[in-house]
A and B are shown apart, each in its own frame.
Chain A
Amino acid sequence: MAKKTMTIHLKIWRQAGPDASGRLVDYTVEANPHMSFLEMLDVLNEDLIKKGEEPVEFDYDCREGICGSCGVVVDGIAHGPQHRTAVCQLHMRHYRDGDTIVVEPWRAEAFPVIRDLVVDRGAFDRIISAGGYVSVNTGSAQDANNLPVPKPNADQAFDYAACIGCGACVAACPNASASLFTAAKIAHLALLPQGSPERQLRVERMVSQMQVEGFGDCSNHAECEAVCPKGISISAIARMRREYVKACLAGG
């Protein structure tokens, strides 16, 4: 390494509140190649605070790619250019000295901007509330091994259950559709016998809630899968559609 630090030019979306109009603001920051993208923003914020300016607000928590709090659009791609990586685990070594990076919030009507890069993803919680669960009260469960689940089903259910609810799928979707998020939960529970009794009601209610929240319809661009930090397959969406048809036909 010849130079320990790198100069990064940033164009960051600043927006004071949900109803304020926003704009891209230019910043320059000295970054270290070992930093994560969010640590680079931390450094910028320290600078701004010392200068008496308002720091850039962005959501984050675990910084190891599992809590789903963080998420910004980096140069046009949700979570940035590295596949299967949430932006908290994107490292600056993937950039070159002198690069310019555009940073924007998730953009969707269903995810209103709260401030700067922070958005409100409450719509996701309401979709889960609409039916993304198994109705089993605490204490009423039978012995865990009374309910065998074929290993392939359990493994596939896990693949779908791995969703971290970050919202990148919506952000990247040209239609701002929440289909991958919704379908991942439907597919997870549809693959397990525990989820079976409520499967019809679940798919109907969750799909309907998805619409109520104002997400767009899915046009099968599969962009969601490409930006998903957990690489959840759009086959979840196909499964959701099968579940939906079955529910409609069975419902009479």
Chain B
Amino acid sequence: MNTETTTKKLDAKIPDGPLREKWEHYKEICKLVSPANKRKHTILVVGTGLAGGSAAASLAELGYNVESFCIQDSPRRAHSIAAQGGINAAKNYPNDGDNVWRLFYDTIKGGDYRSREGNVYRLAQVSNNIIDQCVAQGVPFAREYGGLLANRSFGGAQVSRTFYARGQTGQQLLLGAYQALSRQIEQGQVRMHERREMLDLVVIDGRARGIITRDLVTGRIERHVGDAVLLSTGGYSNVYYLSTNAKNSNVTAAWRCYKRGAYFANPCFTQIHPTCIPVSGDYQSKLTLMSESLRNDGRVWVPKKKGDKRPPNEIPEDERDYYLERRYPSFGNLVPRDVASRNAKQVCDEGRGVGETGQAVYLDFRDAIRRLGRKAIEERYGNLFEMYERITGENPYETPMRIYPAPHYTMGGLWVDYELMSTIPGLYVLGEANFSDHGANRLGASALMQGLADGYFVVPATLGNYIAQGGLDGVGTDHEAFAEAEDKARARLEKLLSINGDKTVVEFHRELGKIMWDYVGMSRNREGLEYAIGAIAKLREEYWQRVKVPGEEAMYNKYLEFAGRVADFLELGQLMAQDALHREESCGGHFREEYQTPDGEALRRDDKFAYVAAWEYTGDPAHPRLHKEELKFENVKLTTRSYK
């Protein structure tokens, strides 16, 4: 692989001034669009999750004409809905010493110092407004008996700053945004397009001016023109085939933007969540997350002996290896996500994994039940235990849970500047789809915060700064760029349908997922990554010769949708491996085996890699061009995370 490095500097457009004043200062100087002029502008918002839904609603409230698109049958079903834990904010209601600085600091440290100070500080600043807004919408957050909001603590923080709505915080926040969006739909300010998939971005005179979509019911290819495009299409964990993401989550919209000139940043930064229900067979279609909170009382262990197939309760105490407690005496079972995941993989690779597949470790509540009583455990985790039993058919009160890590979130994404604008003017990227705020590792309860921050508060301010510059007249869907993009999209679908090979889309996807999981997963090395790059390229070639896609274009055809998405994953996977290969350090979710301390911990190399790797598409998937955005840390000191 040759990756060219150019000297072209990526300008993140971080406002001048002290960290605490940057956002306020920006809002003072950014250009505004008058109400009379907002009416004249159409904004295309793709995706209706926390970021897209909140952005579409807020922009419509401001007076823009908004066209909103989602692949589901309703904007209420975006995958944000599945987030369980909570949302962080620096309210300091518990009076435990929290403030904006601490939330900022925890987030940037948790991200292993691979994110921008300016962005993260702004995120912490607007976090409080998010809670206010959501409560005003009627989001039923958990409350204390006094009627005020309750908080709980989450990983990576020493304060209780997480607001939650039982185990369905994402759902409740999303429904809040969905309802705000519904109100704008009723008022005619938003035109909603359900069951539409974005197939391409239309760039005219170097600016994002439209999108090509496919109506998933009729198969019709459509053109939509606007003055700006907001991409809020989530993450790409499904490149691993098995992940905690919803089945329809995909990279296609972001990938087509990448191929139109938007840079893709830090694609190798992925989060593997340690507590998921393990794979039970080849037929498995997705993985289910169990809340991280289980590690508060559960003890993680595997047998000391390799291949010990005895039932867990028959394995005596002295033949069990509580490996997290052994290796990390001070944090024990509560080490951060990346550390817990990596260790689970290690013991399984040693042949000590449990269950039918050997790809699982025990999470045992026996001691907690003895200590606190079954009732206390039931109160704390009752619904999680039920969910576990529903899926596995095993009773975790009696036999230890089996858990294994699973791809869960992607910190990488399209590169954006401080205004959330990508390298294509007029193309904004929000939420998980961008790379901006979580560095190399995301803390729990921060994804919801970022999605809503981007949609409710950041983009409504920054979009005006672009629209006000003008020069957006006179483009219609009859422009040749639309015709070109539409033809291309249609040709691709026709090509996929015409191959009529002997392997299904799912078979290819599973194969890709296995390569990604084995070589670009929890722990990576040069040899494996080099192999993966070649293997993915080969698989991609095979795909375009052997894939079998049923049905026709002009009909509801789920497998045709998947075919297009898997084709893009087959390109993305390669870029992820290339990025992982070039990043010769271990940080956050990216663990390179060559770069570890003598006792096996991540070795970050700030002197060489304290930058954002933004990849530019060159027309050849094998040879993307690397651009670096140096990260400047003026307010925090880079330290090494230690959980020993």
Contacts and interface: CB of A to CB of B under 8 A. Distances in A.
A49 B555 CA distance: 16
A91 B393 contact: yes
Contacts of B288: 63-64
Interface residues of A, number: 79
Nearest to B93: A145
A228 to B, nearest CB: 15
Contacts of B136: 134, 136, 140-142, 144, 147, 194
Nearest to A205: B186
A91 B394 CA distance: 13
Contacts of A165: 74, 76-77
Interface stretch (A116-124, A217-225, A233-241, A243-251): A116-124
A129 B558 contact: no
B217 interface: yes
A91 to B, nearest CB: 7
Interface stretch (B279-287, B419-427, B519-527): B279-287
B129 A141 contact: yes
B103 interface: no
A33 B123 CA distance: 46
Given A85-B390, A142-B136, A151 B145 contact: yes
Contacts of B42: none
Given A115-B555, A139-B133, A162-B171, A67 B72 contact: yes
Given A67-B82, A143-B132, A158-B166, A128 B138 contact: no
A contact face: mostly helix, strand, loop, or mixed? loop
A133 B179 contact: yes
Contacts of A129: 182-183, 185-186
A141 B288 CA distance: 35
B148 A194 contact: no
Given A67-B81, A125-B75, A118 B556 contact: yes
Contacts of B246: 61-63, 67
Nearest to A82: B390
Interface in B414-439: none
A13 interface: no
Given A63-B246, A148-B147, A54 B548 contact: no
A144 B143 CA distance: 11
A135 interface: yes
Given A54-B550, A133-B183, A142 B132 contact: yes
Residue of A91, A115, A125 with most partner-chain B CB within 10 A: A125
Interface in B42-96: 54, 57-58, 61, 72-77, 79, 81-82, 91, 93
B578 interface: no
Contacts of A54: 550-551
Contacts of A62: 77, 79, 81-82, 246-247, 286
A162 B140 CA distance: 10
Interface in A169-223: 188-189, 192, 194-195
A138 interface: yes
Given A64-B288, A66-B81, A138-B133, A57 B556 contact: yes
B77 A122 contact: no
B178 interface: yes
Interface string B93-135: 1000000000000000000000000000000000001011111
B311 to A, nearest CB: 14
Given A36-B285, A36-B391, A134-B136, 11 more contacts: A42-B285, A62-B247, A120-B73, A128-B179, A133-B182, A136-B136, A148-B146, A154-B142, A155-B140, A157-B140, A158-B172
29 contacts: A34-B393, A39-B283, A46-B507, A49-B504, A55-B558, A57-B556, A61-B246, A66-B81, A67-B79, A67-B246, A68-B77, A115-B555, A124-B74, A128-B76, A128-B182, A133-B138, A133-B182, A134-B179, A136-B133, A136-B136, A138-B456, A138-B457, A142-B136, A144-B149, A148-B146, A151-B144, A158-B140, A158-B166, A188-B138
Interface of A: 17, 32-36, 38-40, 42-43, 45-46, 48-50, 52-55, 57, 59-64, 66-69, 82, 85, 89, 91, 93, 114-115, 118, 120-122, 124-125, 128-130, 132-145, 147-151, 154-155, 157-158, 161-162, 164-165, 188-189, 192, 194-195
Interface of B: 54, 57-58, 61, 72-77, 79, 81-82, 91, 93, 129, 131-138, 140-149, 165-166, 168, 171-172, 175, 178-180, 182-183, 185-186, 192, 194, 217, 246-248, 280-281, 283-286, 288-289, 390-393, 456-457, 460, 502, 504, 506-507, 548, 550-551, 555-559
